């Protein structure tokens, strides 16, 4: 699963703190600090995300407006089929994903590529400055609108999927399934997963209830069949009863046995 978010300059310091674990007071209570040592910094060049971001902005033109989306971030979560895979395979998955993103958006524009293993689901945070060349003014500029076009988003998942299948021998099933979900951060992804699991449980309860109702309907249907049979036997019994010349009903000995049988069927049906 992969999700994109566009961010303003003002959001970058907070993102850097989260990506690079620059605090011990995490708002996300699901972070297990005992596993933080497993996290991977895929841009280990001696600098940090904020300095890379500022350096790249100094090299290109960016409008001086607070609402300009100067940073784009992708979150790519580990596919379910690899959750039990060795650490080396999981690491290879994230490195291959990061390489794909570098090729797609330009390695010179990347400012962060961090893998978090200390949360519920391992995931990659990839951040880059969306830069294009301005032909009219012959300079590079920041433009999320021109980099992250509808076509780019529509083809992203297929392209990433095909890249991973090409470079990773153990990656066969594919996990993106043409879905982009409207999550703003990892917390929302976890919230979605919790809601999904709750709905699965509710669905199982409903299916169990339906099964019980079907069983009851089957029993009821059998009972109604027996009622119909009893009513038919009564009608047949009445028609078979003989009458004498004076118009009175006459019971023969075998009629009593038949009457007992009809009565037994009625009791069962009831």
Report domain extents, the chain.
2-184, 203-269
Q: State mean pLDDT over 245-261.
A: 67
Residue 270: predicted pLDDT: 67
Q: Using CA atoms, how far apart are residues 83 and 96, in angstroms rounded to an integer?
A: 17
Residue 180: predicted pLDDT: 43
What digits encode the pLDDT tens for the residues 182-198?
Answer: 445 556 666 777 777 77
Q: Using CA atoms, how far apart are residues 86 and 170, in angstroms rounded to an integer?
A: 11
> CB neighbours (10 Å) of residue 117?
19
- Whether the CB-CB separation of 259 and 237 falls below 8 Å is answered with yes
The encoded tokens of residue 205 equal 């309860």
Phi, psi at residue 173, to the nearest 5°?
-70, -40
Judged against a pLDDT cut of 80, whether residue 261 lies above it is answered with: no
Mean pLDDT of the chain: 84
Residue 26: predicted pLDDT: 57
Residue 21: predicted pLDDT: 87
3.40.640.10, 3.30.930.10, 3.60.20.10, 3.30.930.30: CATH of 2-184: 3.30.930.30
Q: State mean pLDDT over 141-163.
A: 94
Q: With H, G, I as helix, E, B as strand and everything else as coil, classify residue 244.
A: coil
- Ranking 56-70, 117-131, 144-158, 214-228 by mean pLDDT, the lowest is 214-228
Q: With H, G, I as helix, E, B as strand and everything else as coil, classify residue 64.
A: coil
What is the Cα gyration radius of the chain? Answer: 36
Q: State mean pLDDT over 164-177.
A: 76
More confident residue, 179 or 86: 86
- Whether the CB-CB separation of 26 and 39 falls below 8 Å is answered with no
């Amino acid at each position: 699963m992969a999700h994109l978010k566009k961010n303003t300059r003002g959001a970058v310091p907070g993102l850097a703190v989260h990506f690079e674990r620059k605090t011990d007071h995490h708002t996300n209570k699901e972070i297990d600090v005992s596993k933080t040592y497993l996290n991977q910094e895929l841009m280990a060049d001696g600098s940090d995300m904020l300095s890379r971001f500022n350096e790249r902005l100094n090299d290109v033109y960016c409008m001086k407006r607070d609402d300009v989306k100067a940073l784009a971030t992708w979150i790519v979560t580990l596919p379910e089929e690899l959750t039990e895979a060795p650490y080396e395979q999981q690491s290879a998955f994230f490195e291959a994903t990061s390489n794909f993103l570098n090729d797609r958006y330009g390695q010179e524009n990347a400012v962060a590529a961090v893998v978090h293993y200390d949360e519920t689901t391992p995931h990659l945070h990839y951040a880059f400055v969306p830069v294009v060349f301005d032909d009219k003014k012959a300079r590079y500029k920041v433009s999320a609108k021109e980099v992250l076009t509808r076509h780019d988003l529509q083809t992203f998942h297929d392209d990433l999927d095909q890249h991973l299948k090409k470079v990773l021998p153990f990656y066969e099933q594919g996990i993106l399934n043409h879905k982009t979900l409207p999550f703003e951060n990892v917390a929302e992804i976890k919230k979605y997963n919790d809601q999904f699991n709750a709905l699965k449980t509710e669905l199982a309860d409903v299916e169990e209830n339906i099964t019980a109702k079907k069983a009851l309907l089957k029993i009821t249907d059998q009972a109604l069949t027996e009622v119909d049979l009893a009513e038919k036997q009564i009608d047949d019994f009445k028609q078979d009863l003989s009458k004498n010349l004076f118009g009175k009903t006459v019971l023969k000995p075998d009629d009593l046995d038949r009457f007992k049988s009809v009565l037994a069927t009625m009791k069962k049906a009831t």
